[in-house]
Amino acid sequence: MTPDTVEILRTLGFYLLAAMAVALVLALLLFVIVARQMRRVKIPPNAGFAETLRYTPFLVAVFIDLLDFALDILAAPVVWVILDRWGLKALRGVSAVEAAIPFTQWLPTLTLSWIAVRLFR
């Protein structure tokens, strides 16, 4: 590799780490807000993925996607536990699979799913 290529990769890596750090800080701030919102949400026990998303506040989807971006593959167990504690068991599988696939963290899967469920019922 040429020195220019190494410098470009180093700069790109720095920006990626900075973006991940910002996402982690935002996710931690959102956690406080979302934890309060989830106390009021009552989801039916047998709700599927789409029905659970209908009951789920938008900030929950954003929080999970930010956490997934910030922690990369390490987000899978964290997201699994958080969604389980909040009673969002139907969302665990999709979030865990998306978190476990490397280099897909930049795609806000849960947020896009939340929007799709609201638009297309």
Give residue-wise pLDDT tens across range 1-38: 888 899 999 999 999 999 999 999 999 999 999 999 99
Cα-Cα-Cα-Cα dihedral sign, residues 88, 72, 111, 15: positive
Three-class SS of residue 109? helix
Count of other CB atoms within 10 angstroms of residue 26? 16
Domain range enclosing 54 = 22-120
Render pLDDT for 49-105 as a digit per residue (tens, 0 to 9): 999 999 999 999 999 999 999 988 888 899 999 999 999 999 988 888 887 787 777
Q: Domain for residue 4, yes or no? A: no
Domain count, the chain: 1
Q: Domain for residue 63, yes or no? A: yes
Residue 61: predicted pLDDT: 93
Cα-Cα-Cα-Cα dihedral sign, residues 85, 87, 92, 93: positive
Q: Domain for residue 114, yes or no? A: yes
Contacts of 6 (CB under 8 A, 6+ apart): none
Q: Domain for residue 15, yes or no? A: no
Side chain identity at 58, as an amino acid letter?
F
Q: What integer is the mean pLDDT of 39-50?
A: 89
Q: Domain for residue 41, yes or no? A: yes
Residue 21: predicted pLDDT: 95
Q: Domain for residue 10, yes or no? A: no
Q: Domain for residue 11, yes or no? A: no
111 confidence band (pLDDT: 50, 70, 90): very high
Backbone angles phi, psi at 95, to 5 degrees: -65, -40
